[in-house]
Amino acid sequence: MGYNTTITGTGHFVPPRTVTNLDLEKLMDTSDEWIRQRSGISTRHHADPGTGASDLAYEAALKAIESAGIDKTEIDFIIAATLSPDHYFPGIGVIVQSKLGIKTIGALDVRNQCSGFIYALSAADQYIRSGMYKKILLVAAEVQSSNLEFTDERRDVAVLFGDGGGAVILEPTEDEGKGILSTHLFSDGDHVQDLWMEAPSPKDKPTFSHEMIDSKRYCPRMNGRHVFVNAVERMPEAVWAGLKHNGLSIEDVDHLIPHQANDRISLMVANKLGIPVEKVIRNIDRFGNTTAASIPIALDESLREGRIKDGDLVVLTAFGSGFTWASAVIRW
C-alpha cells in the first residue's frame, strides 16, 4: 500500500509593522497610484531590527503545529525555504529546530527563492511517500526589507517585497485520491542575472570590500519586464504539466494559488489558463511579494476563511529567481 502526502496543518505569521505605499512615497520618488496600478500592492509588512526569517518561520510553525493537532515532538524532519536566511551559514532550518526544542531531527534548507515552497513541498512529498518521515514541518519565511534600498534608483524592487512566514505540516495518508497528487519542478539558469543578489560573494576576494559596498552589488536587482514576461509564460506551462500528468483539465481546478509576485502576473496567468478569476487566490494587496512565504500564507488564509474545502482541487504555481518555476496539484 502506497502513501500520499497530505497537508494536515497550516499557519502564517507576519511582523506587526505595516508599511503603506504612502510611507514609501516619503522615502523615494514613487506613488501609491503607480504601485497599486503596476503591482496591486497597497501594504506590506516589514520586520524591525533583530527579527530574522527564523523568527517568522517559528511563529508560523507554532500555528501550523496547533492546527495539525500534533505535539511538536512528533515532528521527525524540518524543511526550510528562504532566500533571506538569518546568517550566511547555517541555514534557518536548524534555528527553527532549536527554537522549537525538538532535538535532534534533521533540518534541510532549500534555496529556490519564489519557487522555494513548491520545491520544498516536492522534497517533503518524496520523503513521506518513501516512508522515511511521517510528520514533516515545512517552513518558508523571508525578511527581505533589510536588503531593500529605498532610493529612486532601486524603487522598482523596493516597493514590491514584504516580510512574512508560512508553515505546513505534512503527513502520510493511505487514501491515494487525496493529498499531493504530483509536483513539477523546472529551472533555467541562463537567467541568473535577471533576478539576483550578486554579493556578498566568495567569488570576490575578499568577499567583503569597499568596492562591493560602493558599487551596491549587494542590492537585489531585477530585470522586471523580462521576469514578468517569463513568469506569465512559465506558470501556466507548469500548471498544464500538472493537470496533464493527472488527467485533469482546468475546469477541474477549484483554487489556483499562484506565487504572489505581482497581481497583474496572477491575473494574466489566470487569463492564459482560462480559469475564472474568482478561483484565483490573491492577497498581494496586503502582503506584497513575500517570495517563498507567499503561497503558504495564501493557503493558510484560504483554509482559515473556509474558502478551501475537503475534496477541492488546489493547484499551486510559482516562478522566480534562477529562473525556477514549479507547480503542485493537491486534492484537499
289 is catalytic: yes
Tell me how far, at minimum, the Cβ of 269 lies from ligand UT7, in Å: 11
Q: Which residue is nearest to ligand UT7 (CB)?
A: 224
Q: Pick from 74, 156, 233, 285: which binds ligand UT7 (CB under 6 A)?
A: 156
Residues 29-58 that bind ligand UT7 (CB under 6 A): 30, 34, 38-39
Distance in angstroms (rounded) separating the CA atoms of residues 270 and 296: 19
Which x/- pattern over 247-276 shows residues binding ligand UT7 (rule: CB under 6 A)? --------------xx--x-----------
Which of 90, 130, 201, 225 touches ligand UT7 (CB under 6 A)? 225
Does residue 114 carry a catalytic annotation?
Answer: yes
102 grid coordinates: 525538538
Residue 316's H or E segment, with its range, is strand 313-320
Site for ligand UT7 in 96-115 (CB under 6 A): 114
What angle (nearest 5°) sits at the alpha carbon of residue 89, between those of residues 7 and 95? 45
**In this structure, how many other beta carbons lie within 10 angstroms of the beta carbon of residue 193?**
9
Binding mask 112-151 for ligand UT7 (x = CB under 6 A): --x-------------------------------------
Whether the Cβ atoms of residue 238 and residue 187 lie closer than 8 Å to each other: no
Evaluate whether 325 touches 317 at the Cβ level (below 8 Å): yes
Mask for 60-99, x = binds ligand UT7 (CB under 6 A): ----------------------------------------
Does 170 contact ligand UT7 by CB under 6 A? no
Q: Please say which residue, 68 or 232, places its beta carbon nearer to ligand UT7.
A: 232
Question: Rounded to a whole number, what is the distance in angstroms from the first to the last CA of the chain?
Answer: 20
Catalytic residue among 4, 114, 230, 255: 114
Catalytic residue among 4, 21, 262, 289: 289
Q: Which residues contact 305 (CB under 8 A, 6 or more apart)?
A: none
Task: Report the residue from 82, 112, 289, 290 that binds ligand UT7 according to the rule CB under 6 A.
Answer: 289
Q: What's the CA gap between 45 and 59, in Å, rounded?
A: 15
Distance CA 60, CA 50 (A): 17
- Three-state SS string over 177-218 comes to CCEEEEEEEEECHHHHHHEECCCCCCCCCCCCCHHHHHCCCC
User: Mind telling me the catalytic residues?
Assistant: 114, 259, 289
Q: Which residues of the shown chain bind ligand UT7 in the complex (CB under 6 A)?
A: 30, 34, 38-39, 114, 155-156, 159, 195, 224-225, 227-228, 231, 261-262, 265, 289, 320
